[in-house]
Amino acid sequence: LSGSCLQVPCNFSAKTSASFTGKNFGVWIKSDSRFKEFPENVIFNSSGSTKTYPLEITGNLERQNCTTVFQNLTSEHSDVYFFRIEHTQTKSQVRNFELLNKICETPDSPWSPSINVPSDLKEHQSVTVTCSAFTPCPHSPPQLTWNLQQDSLRQTEKNTDGTFTTKIQETITLSDTHDGYNIRCSARYPVTGGNKTAETEVTLSVS
């Protein structure tokens, strides 16, 4: 999302058994991994030698975690990215480990939230309604609001693939007045200079 941050879950492994204790440097490369032929494609080196993109490696490289947060993304950042780890045991010995391909696509419109309602709704039945939204940056989650109870607890959860989802839930007891009722949920994403909002609506059918 243009103007927002994006946390990229990232892990790496060595092609051969190796220890990652000591000094490690993480390098991000765009477009083409052949950085020797295209040195201008190196956009970040945690050694401090290069930082042309607003990003930070938040993972612990010693634990083979290269999770990275990109800040203030724009459509110009849409590209294919590669990660390279350099482990230095001495000043003259540098071992390079496998590359991880990451694709960063930056849409201009916010992601629409999803509303989950059980099927086959019956009058007098208690049901839990959930509104959830993709969360590109867990430390800056979207604000979710809906036309149900306004103080619903917001939770941000980590998915199995390392991405995050923010959700709110509300349990309601259905009555005949809920038949044809429209539930609307909005996700407001913080971006540079303000916010961007997307809304989703579903209609209840109660029998």
Tokens of 57: 């490696």
Q: Each residue's pLDDT tens digit in the chain (207 positions)? A: 888 999 988 888 766 656 666 688 899 999 888 888 999 999 999 988 888 988 999 999 888 899 999 998 888 888 888 888 887 664 334 444 444 445 566 677 899 999 999 999 999 999 999 999 999 999 999 999 999 877 788 999 999 988 999 999 999 999 999 999 999 999 999 998 899 999 999 999 999
* CA-wise closest residue to 26 among 64, 53, 52: 64
Q: What's the pLDDT at 149?
A: 76
**pTM > 0.85:** no
The CA distance from 67 to 162, in Å, is: 9
Q: Around Cβ 66, how many Cβ atoms within 10 Å? A: 25
CB-neighbour burial class of residue 132 (10 A; exposed 0-12, middle 13-18, buried 19+): buried
Q: What's the pLDDT at 155?
A: 96
The CA distance from 83 to 116, in Å, is: 36
Q: What's the pLDDT at 158?
A: 95
The CA distance from 124 to 108, in Å, is: 43
Q: What's the pLDDT at 1?
A: 82
- Pairing, β 164-173 against β 154-158: antiparallel
Tokens of 54: 């607003």
Spell out the domains of the chain, with CATH numbers in brackets. 6-104 (2.60.40.10), 114-203 (2.60.40.10)
The CA distance from 207 to 203, in Å, is: 13
Q: What's the pLDDT at 53?
A: 87
Q: What's the pLDDT at 206?
A: 94
Q: What's the pLDDT at 186?
A: 97
The residue behind tokens 């989950």 is: 116
Quick check: 196 and 3 in contact, CB under 8 A? yes
